[in-house]
Structure 1
Amino acid sequence: MDYREWLQERAAEDLGVELSGAQLDQFHRYYRRLVEINQQMNLTAITEEKEVFAKHFYDSLTLAHYLPFHELKSLIDVGTGAGFPGLALKIAFPDIRLALLDSLNKRVVFLRELAEELDLAGVETIHGRAEETARLSEYRERFDLATARAVAKLNVLAEYCLPFVRVGGCFAAMKGPGLREEMKEGKRAVEKLGGQEIEERSLSLPEGMGERHLILIEKKVSTPKAYPRKPGTPLRKPI
């Protein structure tokens, strides 16, 4: 089966995302490169083609069902790993300015080379920790949207991500099932870091491939200068 056609159909019907033949070819090249490099470094446990297209590509694009990507100008993907959701969203919405942040340089190098191979302009790859990078003036409160996918609990993620978001922008955390307690624990951190509205969206991947949850947080006021704290502190001592 040609999973490019599968992705095109599902993205259009389920998410309202229209993908051209050229974009579908980019996804296919992404898949092939991901599997190839995964033999050299641990990027993903998911390598079967159908699962990559569903659990990585389609899953990444679900954000576009809830957020106005045609209006967004900039996105930072924090702890991007193999480039999800950031690079997949960049393929679908090539005009967006994308920053991919990861603490492991090998992954950053892979993503930089991949973006070049896919002829994607406006992609910045950053090797660093969120706690340090978010204190740099060129990144602090500079993005319309910050994303993180299965990186940490919400009370930790908020400190990693909200400092990157401009006032009026959004932080989107992509999660699996079982969020009730996590959202309750994270409310204080979100409010302290400038976010006020917390919305949850639940969805199912096609063909019974899993349940997903999105936490969408609008940023209302600037993050206090004290945050983020020193590297490692958010994880050891969540707000």
Structure 2
Amino acid sequence: MNNNSFQKKPESKAPGPKDMDRILQSCGIALSPDRIDLLWQYHNRLRQANPELNLTRIHRFENMVIKLYADSILPGELTALPSPLLDLGTGPGMPGIPLKIAFPDTEIVLAETRQNRVVFLEQTISSLGLSGIRVYGHAVTPSFEQMFAGVITRAVEHMDKTLHRIQGCVKTGGLVIFMKGPGCADEIAAAQQAFSYSFELRQDKAYSIGNTPNQRRLVIFERTDAPPARRRQQAAEKHRIRDIQSAQNTTYKDLKKLLTAKGMKKQNQALVSGAKQITDIIAQCSGKCLAWISGSENQPPPENLASRAAWYRLAPELFDTLDVLGTRSPLLLVEIPVIIPWHPGAGLPPGCTVLVPFQDPENVGAVIRSAVAFGAENIVLLAEAAHPFHPRAIRASGGVVMHANLMQGPPIGELPTDLPVVALSMSGTPVFEFAFPQSFALLPGMEGPGLPRGLKKNAVSIPMSPKVESLNAAAAAAIALYTWSQTRRI
């Protein structure tokens, strides 16, 4: 047998700094030789420590350069990095260490809680001789108040949770930079809704890592309000502060009663949930704001809250009880008007009066919003209706309930049969063919029971596909109100 037929295959050459440089350049990243050398040293330390510390699950050289180092550096190519910059959840040092290597003038703090990784990071910084970078080996919570010009994170935590976590350490005008995958639209929307009063979306850029199929998204929020430490100081000078730690506290008991219709009616007060609703109410109804309610001293009131409003700082478990919508954002205690009674015998004013029988607070809020939007000036809450200032009703109304003309009516069963009622019923005249009277009351059915038989004689229906059994009552009312509003313009 010819021994030459068993020639040994040449060994593949181990990758080196030049290979790293070539891959980075293919991703649009050009580093000087000394920076490549530092990144190569970091790569070697990462490879050596990985079997023991499980720092990364990416092992193939090219993938490490693309998915770890290039991915970490690209945000600095796409936007000006703020300094000092907090790398939240840095893990083995990414994106912080590659960013420090590529942008040496940026001051960086690596935040990591796992102590074996803290040791690795500190030893790596020392070994590479990096300056202007250090490790913070503790959890970052809202009470962490060292000031930073920016925060960057490639962690998997949702954006709204991160904004909550870092609200104590980002200065006014500071940036929060999220390194995300392409499918994060829902996260962005949730963050905007939860923090509309303190962070604004400044950039949302989709990009790929070089010519690879790896799709990324750079999302940047800017802080628009003052950080809690500054706002706490301002609030302490402006508002009366009351710390509440016990469920037996008289003020807390009164607040808890506002979770019921009876309590709201007795006190003429209500709790508002949701950052946007609260922001709008403070701006438009400052005279009705009685107190800012937070679960932490790190959630002080905004600057435009009137000084007459108190600041109630509740123990977290007490706050959670009041936060029935689970927003985790502060609540607002507001004064609500006394709802005047309405008597059917007094007749109806010109136009549309909406009769509200809904027992679901969200339906109540939704139909109030539609009524105001389409020009129905009078809204009568029947005895069966949920309280219009229930937190869910306020949220569904978009805060419109604060401006609506509300009246309190009788039970649906006591409405006189000669009242000019236009009822919503599946057996009625199609709404687009109906001639609305000059003066009438629009009556949707209750959820479940529907309408009393005697009130169905003058009814309209919403034509729809037979594939759908019925519409949500508040949605049906909105369609009817819109249709009526269009007839007024003819």
Among candidates 40, 61, 75, match of residue 28 of structure 1: 40
Shift of 1:18: 4.1
Letter in 1 for 2:207: L
Letter in 2 for 1:3: D
Task: Name the SS for the 2:195 alignment partner.
Answer: helix
The alignment status of 1:135 with 2:110, answered yes or no, reads: no
User: Structure 1: 5+ residue runs without aligned partners?
Assistant: none
Shift of 1:49: 1.2
Letter in 1 for 2:85: L
Task: Name the SS for the 1:170 alignment partner.
Answer: strand
Among candidates 26, 44, 49, match of residue 10 of structure 1: 26
Shift of 1:95: 1.9
Shift of 1:187: 1.1
Does the 8 Å CA contact 1:146/1:170 hold for their aligned counterparts? yes
Among candidates 38, 53, 66, match of residue 78 of structure 2: 66
Among candidates 214, 219, 241, match of residue 210 of structure 1: 214
Does the 8 Å CA contact 1:4/1:25 hold for their aligned counterparts? no
Taking a change above 3 Å as real, the CA distance of residues 170 and 180 of structure 1, as seen in their structure-2 partners, is: same
Letter in 1 for 2:67: K
Shift of 1:221: 1.1
**Distance in 2, Cα, partners of 1:238 & 1:172:** 22
Letter in 2 for 1:116: S
Does the 8 Å CA contact 1:162/1:195 hold for their aligned counterparts? no
Does the 8 Å CA contact 1:97/1:122 hold for their aligned counterparts? yes
Equivalent residues in 2 for 1:1-239, closer than 5 Å: 2-10=18-26, 14=28, 18-69=30-81, 72-131=82-141, 135-137=143-145, 139=146, 142-192=147-197, 194-224=198-228, 226=296, 227=298
Does the 8 Å CA contact 1:8/1:24 hold for their aligned counterparts? no
Taking a change above 3 Å as real, the CA distance of residues 82 and 237 of structure 1, as seen in their structure-2 partners, is: farther
Shift of 1:167: 0.9
**Distance in 1, Cα, partners of 2:165 & 2:113:** 12
Letter in 2 for 1:31: H
Letter in 1 for 2:21: E
Question: Could you report, residue by residue, the CA deviation over 1:55-99 in whole angstroms, capped at 9, with x for unpaired residues?
Answer: 111111111133223xx3311101111111111100111122111
TM score, norm. by length of structure 1: 0.84
Taking a change above 3 Å as real, the CA distance of residues 88 and 238 of structure 1, as seen in their structure-2 partners, is: farther
Does the 8 Å CA contact 1:147/1:161 hold for their aligned counterparts? no
Larger helix proportion of the pair: 1
TM score, norm. by length of structure 2: 0.43
Taking a change above 3 Å as real, the CA distance of residues 111 and 94 of structure 1, as seen in their structure-2 partners, is: same
Does the 8 Å CA contact 2:24/2:66 hold for their aligned counterparts? no
Letter in 2 for 1:4: M
Does the 8 Å CA contact 1:156/1:238 hold for their aligned counterparts? no
Task: Name the SS for the 1:191 alignment partner.
Answer: coil
Shift of 1:237: 7.1
Larger Rg: 2
Does the 8 Å CA contact 2:84/2:148 hold for their aligned counterparts? yes
**Distance in 1, Cα, partners of 2:122 & 2:30:** 25
Taking a change above 3 Å as real, the CA distance of residues 209 and 40 of structure 1, as seen in their structure-2 partners, is: farther
**Distance in 2, Cα, partners of 1:34 & 1:238:** 38
Task: Name the SS for the 1:202 alignment partner.
Answer: strand
Percent identity between the aligned chains? Answer: 26
CA RMSD of aligned residues (A): 2.4
Does the 8 Å CA contact 1:77/1:148 hold for their aligned counterparts? yes
Aligned residues: 223
Taking a change above 3 Å as real, the CA distance of residues 106 and 238 of structure 1, as seen in their structure-2 partners, is: farther
**Distance in 2, Cα, partners of 1:67 & 1:144:** 14
**Distance in 1, Cα, partners of 2:30 & 2:167:** 29
Does the 8 Å CA contact 1:159/1:189 hold for their aligned counterparts? no
Task: Name the SS for the 1:206 alignment partner.
Answer: coil
Shift of 1:145: 1.4
Does the 8 Å CA contact 1:79/1:151 hold for their aligned counterparts? no
Shift of 1:161: 2.9
**Distance in 2, Cα, partners of 1:198 & 1:68:** 13
**Distance in 2, Cα, partners of 1:46 & 1:82:** 12
